[in-house]
Amino acid sequence: MTWAAGYTEGPVVTKERIGFIGLGHMGHGMAKNLIEKGWPLTVLGHRRREPIEDLKARGATEATTPKQLAQMSEVIILCVTGSAEVQETIQGSDGLAAAERPLTIIDCSTSDPSVTIKLAEDLSRSGSVLVDAPLGRTPADAQAGTLDVMVGGDAPIVEKVRPILEAFASRVVHTGPTGTGHTMKLLNNFLSMGYAALYAEALALGAKAGVEPRLFDAVIRGGRMDCGFYQTYFKWVLDRDPTAHKFSLRNALKDMTYLASFAQSVGLANPIGSSVRNSFATAVGTGHGDEYVPRLSDIVAGLNGVSLDPALKGPNGGGGT
């Protein structure tokens, strides 16, 4: 059969107008992938202009308030710090809800599941839908479009937004009803931040005993205790790469605080979670909140009188000061 010139087989798919709030380390890559894959995109202005200007150069439109963004969009993606910021963005005086129109809101932040469930109930009364879709992997994966996404929501809604999520993710897992995505994200971050705290204490103990980080790594790397998180963490420990793992100690403490609240809400004793949280509380309380998670290794080592930095290595083999 011969097709007429210019004929495209199959239905023409109209892509939803998307509004994006939160163009940080993860959000910028996600938004870039959306616009490159054909979604009309509006972004919210921010004092950090570089990602905004980059996306505008790619064809995005800029809004100045969440309300204005909602008026220009059908689907809103949030990639902000946590529940407090999500609530203010939606329910604030010039927030998304002030637009008074039904929206599909995808919360890719790491939020408190109990807050997410309550917020979804409030939004449903005005015809809007909230889907929790927190992220796994790194900013490099956000740029490459290979994130993991954990999605909580009713199955028909999840299938409706799946093509949007797949624009920046290579793996999308439906976790169950609204709130389960954020629950799974807290469990995921409990594992990763637990690793971070364990690595920090093990390295400090090794340094005290004369075991240098490179010897530690020679044993662990490639063995059963190796993993992707270990590898990015140790890009800082071994190579002093400041961009190896772009997740702040302050955000780690926030997530472990959410975990503690969640455990309490279901009546679970979580002594290991409390210990992990205290590791990050110590780091933040000593003025290191804006540093990235692998720096915890140096903080714990320093509090124990040793250094892991080869440039500061003392006279003994373990970097003692």
Q: What distance in Å separates the CA atoms of residue 107 and residue 109, rounded to the nearest whole number?
A: 5
Place of tokens 């969009």: 73
Of 136, 128, 106, give the one whose Cα is nearest residue 34: 106
Task: Count the neighbouring beta carbons within 10 Å of the beta carbon of residue 274.
Answer: 14
C-alpha separations of 143 from 40, 167, 245 in Å: 18, 11, 14
| The length of the chain, given as a count of residues | 321
Structure tokens at 304: 């124990």
Which residues are the active-site residues? 185
Task: Count the neighbouring beta carbons within 10 Å of the beta carbon of residue 271.
Answer: 7
